[in-house]
Amino acid sequence: MIKTTWQDFAITGITVLFAVMLLPQLRDVISRGAVLNFFSALFTSLLGYAMAMVFATLGLWISVIGQGLVATAWMLLAYFSLRNVREHMFPEETLGSVALDFFTVWVRGVAFIVAGGVKGIVSRIRQG
């Protein structure tokens, strides 16, 4: 029999509420063509699954289910957002090629932000 603690129930309750709060957004993405940032949703999903694995190592088995629900909701948001972008902007492309294109734009954006930060630090060092 699975031994549960009050922490397991508390974490599960909170994560299930997170999943329920994502349902309206999921409905908008699936039925109304709304779009979320693909990589934010994807990485949130992957981190959610990682958190579920952490809960599993702690023996918080009910929390694994709750966290898995949240991670799955984020994964669905990522998938349907990407699908919506493809259908409206790149109907001839595959989902994979659209995702790769988004990834290159994301990498360029991160590089731009990092370069700006480094430039700011260097200029502050020079001003002394």
In this prediction the pTM is 0.80
Higher-confidence residue: 11 or 4? 11
**Residue 43: what pLDDT?**
93
Among candidates 113, 102, 111, 118, which has minimal Cα distance to 43? 102
**Residue 32: what pLDDT?**
93
- What is d(CA 105, CA 115) in angstroms, rounded to the nearest whole number? 15
Q: For a pLDDT cut of 70, what percent of the chain falls above it?
A: 98
- What is d(CA 75, CA 86) in angstroms, rounded to the nearest whole number? 17
Among candidates 12, 114, 110, 119, which has minimal Cα distance to 69? 12
Question: What residue type is assigned to position 121 of the chain?
Answer: I
